[in-house]
Every structure is written in structure tokens, then in C-alpha cells.
A and B are shown apart, each in its own frame.
Chain A
């Protein structure tokens, strides 16, 4: 199946710093990319949907100025957590899709720990 690469897999940062997470579709062009957040033993919560070349659509309650999403090309989307705080510590997962949801693939996730 298609591969979605997410990097880094784990990051530890100090409070107040910014962290960038990359999501790449390696063997297909992703028209849409999704960013999720997952707390331990909980379900995936959709944060935002991004389409190449346009602004991301954020879910209700997600601060767009804190979680900056850039979908600069059909194979790359980035999530930047700005001025990170301990409460931002979580597992962040991206997914990339093509025309239908049958062609939606997930990255391996990024564990963010903010000290």
C-alpha cells in the first residue's frame, strides 16, 4: 500500500519553543492531508484538514494560530506547534489521501513531550 512518512517520530522540547512535524506522501500525490491528535487510550481527534495550496480548515476548538499547518505541495504538509506548553504534549498523527477515503493512509505518528 501507499506510504505516508511522518517525521520526527518523537520530540522533546522546552516550554515556549516551537516544533515542526512533517508529513510526506512518498509514492502518491495527496490532494488532502489531515492532522489528528490522540491522547493516551483515547480516539483520534481531527484537528484540521489541509488541501494543497489553500488554507487549512480547522475543527472547532483548535487554535489555528497555535497549530500552524502548511500544505505547500502535493506530497508535503507540516504542522507547527507554536509556543508549546506541557498541555500540548500528545501523539500527533497525519493522514494523506487521494480521491476517495479508500486511499487514505496514516503516518506513524509523532509523540510530542513538552517539558
Chain B
């Protein structure tokens, strides 16, 4: 019940395209859903996060879509750029409790 399932494992997108990464969870007590971006040899950096009281949150080219009934949330990267090539992790937590991370998606954006 503590798992967060993430897909796909890897994703190749052409420059200018839309990258979509999906996550699913079981624990309905989760109330915080962040997405992290990690470059090789670096720690993760918070990209965008959402709480279950809204269905969508947009920050620049990054959008989180949240479906509470389906217990799913996704990250959309619009107008994907080569600089977006990185590994993306979804996560979930209950309040200030530990984050449960997804398995990660390696995104490659080709020019």
C-alpha cells in the first residue's frame, strides 16, 4: 500500500513534443504529490507538486494532472527541450511523513 508505481521506465521524445509520465498509488491517505527532476550525479530537485484538493497545477511548461478517484497523477512537459533530458521521479507522502518515491523515468529529448 505504500508503493508508488511509475511508468514508463524510459521515454524518448522529439524536441517540441509533449512528455507524459504517469504514477499510481494505493494509499488514499497520501496528501502530497511532488515531482522531482534529477540530473546524473546530482540530487533531485523539486519540479512541481500538487495536493489532492485540485485536479491540475501548471507551472510554465510543466503540468501535473491529478485524478483522485483513479488514484493516479501525471506529469506533462510541454514543448520538451533537450535540456529537459533527465530522470524524473514522482513521490507521495502523508503530511510531513517520509516521501515514497516512484521508480523513475529516464527522459531523453532529441533535437
A residues adjacent to B (C-beta < 8 A): 1, 4, 6, 32, 34, 41-44, 46, 49, 91, 93, 95, 97, 99-102, 104-109, 111
Q: Is the CB of A43 within 8 A of B104?
A: yes
Q: A6-B43, A49-B98, A106-B43 are in contact. Are A42 and B104 (CB under 8 A)?
A: yes
Cβ contacts under 8 Å, B32 to chain A? 100-102
Task: Check B41 for interface membership: any CB of A closer than 8 A.
Answer: yes
> For the complex, what is the distance from the CA of A33 to the CA of B102, rounded to whole Å?
20
Cβ contacts under 8 Å, B96 to chain A? 32, 97, 99-101
Q: Is the CB of B98 within 8 A of A43?
A: no
Cβ contacts under 8 Å, A108 to chain B? 42-43
CB distance from A99 to the nearest CB of B (A): 7
> For the complex, what is the distance from the CA of A106 to the CA of B44, rounded to whole Å?
6
* B window 67-111: CB within 8 A of A: 89, 93, 95-96, 98-99, 101-104, 106
Give 22 A-B contacts (CB < 8 Å), ordered by A residue: A6-B43, A34-B98, A34-B99, A41-B104, A41-B106, A43-B101, A43-B103, A43-B104, A44-B44, A46-B99, A93-B43, A100-B32, A101-B32, A101-B95, A101-B96, A101-B99, A102-B32, A102-B49, A104-B99, A106-B44, A107-B43, A109-B41
Write the chain B residue with the least CB distance to A95.
B43
B residues adjacent to A (C-beta < 8 A): 32, 34, 36, 41-46, 49, 89, 93, 95-96, 98-99, 101-104, 106
Among candidates A32, A41, A91, A101, residue contacting B34 with C-beta atoms closer than 8 Å: A101
Q: A101-B32, A101-B34, A101-B99 are in contact. Are A43 and B89 (CB under 8 A)?
A: yes
Q: A32-B96, A34-B98 are in contact. Are A93 and B44 (CB under 8 A)?
A: yes
Interface centre among B34, B41, B44, B89 (most CB of A within 10 A): B44
Write the chain A residue with the least CB distance to B4.
A43
Q: Is the CB of B41 within 8 A of A111?
A: yes
CB distance from A53 to the nearest CB of B (A): 17
> For the complex, what is the distance from the CA of A106 to the CA of B99, rounded to whole Å?
12
